[in-house]
Amino acid sequence: MLVFHSKTELRSHLSSLKTKNHSIGMVPTMGALHQGHISLVNKAISENSHVVVSIFVNPTQFDNKEDLKKYPKTLDKDIQLLKAVSGIVIVFAPTADEMYEGKIKSKSFKFDGLEKVMEGEFRTGHFNGVATIVELLLRAVMPNKAYFGEKDFQQLQIIKKLVEIRKIPIEIIGCPIVRESNGLAMSSRNERLSKPVRKKAGFIYETLKSAKNEFGTKSASKVIEWVRNQFEQHPIFELEYIQITDVDTLTPLLRKQKDRKYRAFVAVYTEGVRLIDNIALN
């Protein structure tokens, strides 16, 4: 499997593929790969002849230095996992200097308010960092399609907006959330949980599923109250936010409308680890 650390070398390899009319899929990641990432890679393989998986822990999207320091880095293991996938996978694992060319700093973006709520509100500067690196990664590879998980649903909506406002001709594909057997959304940060808490963390998805049931008959504010109450009864899981929003605008739902789609989002702290999850409500 080819592993590139340099943009120039990667670009030159890809340009020879592109002249032969091969289609390129891209899966941007921060590494510590798990089956959630592999589901994106498999989807990309099913739709393209070659797939570039980028592995880069982007410093500018972390507002919490401790979180960045503790972020798992397992490049050799990641490469082994990707070797087991059937399809042509190319790894791009640059350094921060290679990506940012010296100035490790985010640009400032506006995404019609999508960037202000939930993750944007609780992780200052996070989406400026994400948008900055995603634009650099997409422009380095210029794939036909790029694949992102719905676990980071707000990020997915922002990246769709990013390619629209920056006029980057790449199709952005959203992929469903892959879960552990107890329902916990797979995440690289799950590795930092103790075994017993990881087992109990199925509670987060169970609560979201019940919230979906409650949503059939209750108003958004009643469902939010109900979810808060569930978390109060399970104090090892500290709820940072619960929000019910329209899926397109990510604005809080005030009154249900028949033709609109809604989703519930949570961020939860447990054992000092921050987890996010979401569910379609209708």
Ligand X SMILES: Nc1ncnc2c1ncn2[C@@H]1O[C@H](COP(=O)(O)OP(=O)(O)OP(=O)(O)O)[C@@H](O)[C@H]1O
Ligand Y SMILES: CC(C)(CO)[C@@H](O)C(=O)[O-]
Known binding residues are: 30-37, 61, 149-152, 155, 178, 186-189
Q: State yes or no: residue 175 binds ligand X (CB under 6 A).
A: yes
130 residue type, one letter: V
According to CB under 6 A, which one of 4, 14, 26, 37 is a site residue for ligand X? 37
Q: State yes or no: residue 188 binds ligand X (CB under 6 A).
A: yes
| Residue 37 among the catalytic residues | yes
**CB atoms inside a 10 Å sphere around CB 62:** 18
Q: State yes or no: residue 133 binds ligand Y (CB under 6 A).
A: yes
61 vs 144 by CB, closer to ligand X: 61
- Given ligand Y, ligand X, ligand BAL, none, residue 185, with its beta carbon under 5 to 8 Å by kind, binds ligand X
Point out the catalytic residue in the list 13, 22, 37, 126. Answer: 37
| Shortest reach from residue 169's CB to ligand X, in Å | 20
- Whether residue 267 contacts residue 274, with contact meaning beta carbons closer than 8 Å, is answered with yes
Please name every residue paired with 55 in a beta bridge, in sequence order, or none if there are none: 29
Instruction: Report the distance separating Cα 228 and Cα 206, nearest Å.
Output: 14
Q: State yes or no: residue 38 binds ligand Y (CB under 6 A).
A: no
205 vs 215 by CB, closer to ligand BAL: 205
Q: State yes or no: residue 106 binds ligand BAL (CB under 6 A).
A: no
220 vs 273 by CB, closer to ligand X: 273
- Residue 49, token pair as written in the block: 């002849």
- Given ligand Y, ligand BAL, ligand X, none, residue 281, with its beta carbon under 5 to 8 Å by kind, binds none
According to CB under 6 A, which one of 78, 98, 150, 152 is a site residue for ligand BAL? 152
Residues that bind ligand Y (CB under 6 A): 28-30, 58, 61, 130, 133-134, 152, 155
